[in-house]
Amino acid sequence: MLHDGTQAVVVDPGDAAPVLQALKAQGLQLAGILVTHHHPDHVGGIAALRPHLRGPVWGPARERIPAPFTPLADGDTVAVLGQAFEVLDVPGHTAGHIAYLQQQGGTAPLLFCGDTLFSAGCGRLFEGTPAQMHRSLSRLAALPSGTRVCCTHEYTLSNLKFAAAVEPGNLQRAQYQAQCEERRAQGLPTLPSSIGLERQINPFLRCETPEVMAAARAQGAVGEDAVSVLAALREWKNRF
């Protein structure tokens, strides 16, 4: 949820109940809904939220989002709560997945990336290809280091266990894992992450690192190019 003290926008409301609870607790009016892709755990709450909605639902033009909604494509801009978000096409997890990048100067921008990029991981390739996911992740990895990564699931600890198997010698990953374990033990989220941190600890953004490449080869990577490495890592993660 993003709010200005009066109005709020929510991203990927899979369940309406916690959204309604938060709106009521903070005295906020729901001004819009941003959707990254069509999966039920990202759109399941939209119908129940519509009676409370005082604005549009935005979503990817190339996916079936509960209608009515405003379709968006790469390069479009969405104005919410006086702020502008650029739409980025990031297919891989689904065929038409999009992300929203806050466009503002002076502070670390927000990235709502759905299930494309997780902290220390990436989404499963349900509809897209390894090449698409690699292009999407490379695009996100090229964003400014301070960009705050607001992904949709708290998968960080399980992703870090996999990252440790891929790249056991990564000291930054080990330090981050200890920090995340402490946060979760206190009932706190590990998110948001940052693009700069993910470049250091996320194996799916490190497909050209020698240790990651060697791990992928050991898991049957068909080549040493980044797409082949990512494909082998994703298949390994699926059964990890």
d(CA 116, CA 12): 13
Q: Tell whether the model's pLDDT for residue 34 goes beyond 90.
A: yes
Q: What residues does CATH 3.60.15.10 cover in the chain?
A: 75-240
Read off the amino acid at residue 80: V
- Inform me whether the pLDDT recorded for 100 exceeds 70: yes
Residues in Cβ contact with 3 at an 8 Å cutoff, skipping those fewer than 6 apart = 9, 26, 28, 81
pLDDT of residue 177: 97
What is the average per-residue pLDDT within 74-90?
A: 96
Q: Which amino acid is at 51?
A: P
Are 4 and 82 in contact by the 8 Å Cβ rule? The answer is yes
Give the pair of three-digit tokens for residue 154.
Answer: 């708290």
pLDDT digits (tens, 9 = 90+) for 161-211: 999 999 999 999 999 999 999 999 999 999 999 999 999 999 999 999 999
For 185-203, the DSSP string reads: HTT-----EEHHHHHHH-G
Q: Tokens at residue 46, please?
A: 């939209």
Say if pTM beats, i.e. exceeds, 0.85: yes
130 — pLDDT class (breaks 50, 70, 90): very high
Cα–Cα distance for residue pair 90/99, rounded to 1 Å = 7
Residues labelled catalytic: 37, 39, 41-42, 93, 115, 153
Domain 75-240 falls in which CATH fold? Answer: Metallo-beta-lactamase; Chain A (3.60.15)
Do 34 and 80 form a contact (C-beta atoms < 8 A)? Answer: yes
CA torsion through residues 161, 208, 204, 230, sign: negative
